[in-house]
Amino acid sequence: MGIQFYNTYNRRKEEFKPIKEGYVGLYTCGPTVYDYAHIGNFRAYIFEDLLRRYLLYRGFEVTQVMNLTDIDDKTIKGCNTKGISLAEYTKVFKDAFFEDLDTLKIARATHYPEATTHIKEMVDLVKRLLDKGVAYRMGDSIYYRITEFPNYGKLSGMKLEDLKTGARIDAEEYEKETAADFALWKGWDEDDGDVYWETELGKGRPGWHIECSAMSMKYLGETFDIHCGGVDNMFPHHENEIAQSEAATGKRFVNYWLHNAHLMVEGKKMAKSFNNFYTLKDLIDQGLHPMAVRYVLIATHYRQQLNFTFDGVNAALASLQRLWDFYTNVEESSGGDSGGQIGSITHEAEEKFTSALDDDLNISPALAAVFDMVKAANRVMAEVGLSEDDKKILLKALDGFDSVLAFVKPPEEAKIIDEEVERLIQARVDARRNKNFEEADRIRDQLLTQGIILEDTKSGTKWKRKVE
């Protein structure tokens, strides 16, 4: 059996069949750049990173598109409050976003289209909807008439009649034919200040939903394979994307909809008022290791609500340390021969890893497969050692897992060491040779305070950088 995904659209797991064999078109809802992204946002991006990396691991070619929403109520309000241009205002958060992606080792998407540079595509799409009669003009704005779309509500399981209660009523609602109709184009008003475009549709700016339809179709075609986002985007955002896209093209918009659950922090909903609202930078500044954050965010299945705790991050770091120690121990091992054991151990791990992730990215059994391999191979190393072939096989398997998880290999900075530290290590080796253990222990303690951990092994003294 091939890969299966839980498709929100049909509320069940389905075998994944790409439109074009061996190729996947993937659209992932990106950030609104009005503020620094928080760890809840990054849970979504890490899930999407896992998805993309796994598809590559399974041999697919992937085009991933992630939008940058740089025009909406919040960005307009932000730049006008600060009295700077929209571009100046959003640049700060765009730059920070990409820095954060690097920190978490989230691989770059193929395209990061910005809404402000795709106004023409959006205008064209709105015109198509006007031509088809599913959009209507009201004042200077243009709305989508949802009663024209028979499947409206299919994705989110909402019924049109149920949408009335609980909905906030905005002044503009009164202008619309139906309260649930949504804006495709918003006519300029004074609060927008200098933020507007003069287009065939008039002076104003695009509505929020239209950017994802216009930009996904531009880069991926009118029908594409996978669209991801957080559960909160199911309604109304993705519902509206489907309605406007399918009404315009007459074709199915997306084949597989994947939605990730939210996270909580220390058992509570993350909110500024609970004082548990964190950006990635907040956590790194508190000394949390980025890879431990990545581990925590990836280790809970994406459709399961995740409880982010500081204890969890510490536990994750200990798990990572085990993986990293294993990786270097394999690299440095020598002079043995498993007699083929390593081959079957890695083979079994790879099989389990793949069958787990094939099943809707079931991460827990996949991680268990990696740790089972570590344990089994450690045992072989302790008992009979590894041959050069064994090492190659193991390192190849680890690199394969790392291409998906990105935290299996030790961080590069762990390899850098300065001359003074090198001198101290040598001094300690000499002290031990002379049985001067007091001096040896003193040097070891001193290095530990500098974050260097020493291990005396059969093949000599090894060091590693302490992570915390």
Partner RNA sequence: GGCGGCUUAGCCAAGUGGUAAGGCGGAGGUCUGCAAAACCUCUAUUCUCCGGUUCGAAUCCGGAAGCCGCCUCCA
Residues 189-218 that bind RNA (CB under 7 A): 207-208
**Contact range with RNA by CB under 7 A, out of 120-128, 225-233, 342-350, 385-393:** 225-233
Kindly tell me which residue out of 213, 329, 338, 354 binds RNA, with binding defined by CB under 7 A: 329
Q: Among residue numbers 376 through 395, which ones bind RNA (CB under 7 A)?
A: 378-379, 381-382
**Contact range with RNA by CB under 7 A, out of 53-61, 158-166, 216-224, 401-409:** 158-166
Q: Least CB distance from residue 3 to RNA, whole Å?
A: 15
Q: Among residue numbers 299 through 328, which ones bind RNA (CB under 7 A)?
A: 299-301, 304-307, 309, 311-312, 314-315, 318-319, 322, 325-326
Q: Which residues pair with 240 in a beta bridge?
A: none
Question: What is the DSSP code (8-state) at residue 234?
Answer: I
Kindly tell me which residue out of 140, 453, 463, 465 binds RNA, with binding defined by CB under 7 A: 453
The per-residue DSSP string of 71-133 comes to -SHHHHHHHHHHTS-HHHHHHHHHHHHHHHHHHTTPPPPSB--BGGG-HHHHHHHHHHHHHTT
Asked whether position 44 contacts RNA by CB under 7 A, the answer is yes
Asked whether position 183 contacts RNA by CB under 7 A, the answer is yes
Q: Among residue numbers 108 through 127, which ones bind RNA (CB under 7 A)?
A: none
Q: Are 243 and 125 in contact (CB under 8 A)?
A: no
Q: Among residue numbers 270 through 299, which ones bind RNA (CB under 7 A)?
A: 270, 299
Q: Are 66 and 111 in contact (CB under 8 A)?
A: yes
Kindly tell me which residue out of 56, 119, 138, 163 binds RNA, with binding defined by CB under 7 A: 163
Kindly tell me which residue out of 14, 222, 232, 348 binds RNA, with binding defined by CB under 7 A: 232
Joined tokens for residue 297? 């965010």
Q: Least CB distance from residue 141 to RNA, whole Å?
A: 9
| Rounded Cα distance, 320 and 326, in Å | 10
Q: Least CB distance from residue 21 to RNA, whole Å?
A: 28
**Contact range with RNA by CB under 7 A, out of 108-116, 218-226, 278-286, 371-379:** 371-379
**Contact range with RNA by CB under 7 A, out of 123-131, 330-338, 359-367, 418-426:** 359-367
Alpha helices (H) in 384-418, listed in sequence order: 388-405
Q: CA of 249: how far to CAs of 169, 242, 245, 466, in Å?
A: 31, 10, 6, 56
> 3-state SS of 136-163?
EEECCEEEECHHHCCCCCCCCCCCHHHH
Q: How many residues bind RNA (CB under 7 A)?
A: 91
Q: Least CB distance from residue 81 to RNA, whole Å?
A: 16
| Rounded Cα distance, 51 and 106, in Å | 11
Asked whether position 260 contacts RNA by CB under 7 A, the answer is yes
| Rounded Cα distance, 323 and 16, in Å | 31
In the block, residue with structure tokens 């799409």: 125
Q: Least CB distance from residue 120 to RNA, whole Å?
A: 20
**Contact range with RNA by CB under 7 A, out of 104-112, 124-132, 224-232, 250-258:** 224-232
**Contact range with RNA by CB under 7 A, out of 52-60, 159-167, 286-294, 335-343:** 159-167
Joined tokens for residue 11? 């509320």
| Rounded Cα distance, 131 and 148, in Å | 13
Alpha helices (H) in 300-340, listed in sequence order: 310-332
State which residue, 74 or 396, has the beta carbon closest to RNA. 74
| Rounded Cα distance, 50 and 361, in Å | 8
State which residue, 18 or 126, has the beta carbon closest to RNA. 126
Kindly tell me which residue out of 84, 231, 284, 421 binds RNA, with binding defined by CB under 7 A: 231
Q: Among residue numbers 70 through 99, which ones bind RNA (CB under 7 A)?
A: 72-74
Q: Among residue numbers 126 through 145, which ones bind RNA (CB under 7 A)?
A: none
Q: CA of 347: how far to CAs of 261, 384, 387, in Å?
A: 32, 19, 17
In the block, residue with structure tokens 């050692």: 385
